[in-house]
Amino acid sequence: MVRLFDYLKETPSQTAGPYVHIGMTPNLYDINGVIAEDLGKSVVSDGVKGERITVKGRVIDGGGNPVFDCVVEIWQADANGIYNSPSEHRAGVDPNFVGWGRQAAGANGEFSFETIKPGAVPAPGGGFMAPHITFWIVARGINIGLMTRMYFSDEQEANGKDPVLGKARMIGRENTMIGRRDGDTVTFDIYLQGENETVFLDA
C-alpha cells in the first residue's frame, strides 16, 4: 500500500496560505467554539511589575503596501530580564507577566501590544544584551516565519554593546531594529522587503 505522504512533497507555492491570520486568531473573526479565547491575546495581568508601555507599528510589504493578512507575535523577558519559559533556569519570574503575545494585523497592517519594558538578559559568553522584544511574523507567501528584534531608542548605551545589534550596525542597518520611543508608546514598523527592509534573524 502506497500512502500519499510518502511521495507527495511540498512545492514552492505551498506557504502559510491566505487564511493563516484567521486560523491562528479564530475568535477575532467570529469563528467560535474552536478555543475559548485566542491565544496570546493578553501579555500582562493586573499586578505586573515594571514600566507599562504600548508597542505599536505596521507590517509593510516590498511595494509599500500594508500586510493585512498576517500574524504578529512577540516574545520577551519581564522587567527583571527573566523569561516566563520552561527553559528559564533562573528563579523569580513575574507570575503576572506571560511574556508572549499574538495578534492578527489590522486592515492597514497595524498591530498594538500592551506590555512592559523588558529588562536586560544575559548574553551568550557573558555580559548582557540590551532590552529588546523578539517579533515573529507569518503571512501568505512566507514559508517560514520571519524573526526580528525591536530594541529601544532610549537605550543607546546598552544598544551600543549589544552583540546582535552590533552585527546589524556593521552593515548600516541597525536602525531597522530600533523602536522609536515617545512617552509610554514605542513605534516599530516592520518592512518585509525593499529599501527599508527590516533585519531578520535566523531562529
Compute the average pLDDT of residues 98-125. 92
Per-residue pLDDT, 152: 98
Q: Where residue 191 falls among pLDDT bands split at 50, 70, 90?
A: very high
pLDDT > 90 fraction of the chain, expressed in percent and rounded: 59
pLDDT tops 90 at residue 36: no
Residue 24 to residues 39, 42, 114, Cα–Cα distance (Å): 8, 15, 19
Contact (CB, 8 A) for 196 and 190: no
103 backbone dihedrals φ, ψ, rounded to 5°: -145, 145
Dihedral sign of CA atoms 122, 127, 133, 138 in order: negative
Domains of the chain as residue ranges with CATH? 14-191 (2.60.130.10)
pLDDT tops 70 at residue 6: no
pLDDT tops 80 at residue 12: no
pLDDT tops 90 at residue 82: yes
Among the listed ranges 19-23, 144-148, 156-160, 174-178, which one has the minimum average pLDDT value?
A: 19-23
Compute the average pLDDT of residues 17-29. 61
Compute the average pLDDT of residues 114-119. 96
Q: Which residue has the cell 529588546?
A: 132
Per-residue pLDDT, 52: 96
pLDDT tops 60 at residue 138: yes
Per-residue pLDDT, 184: 97
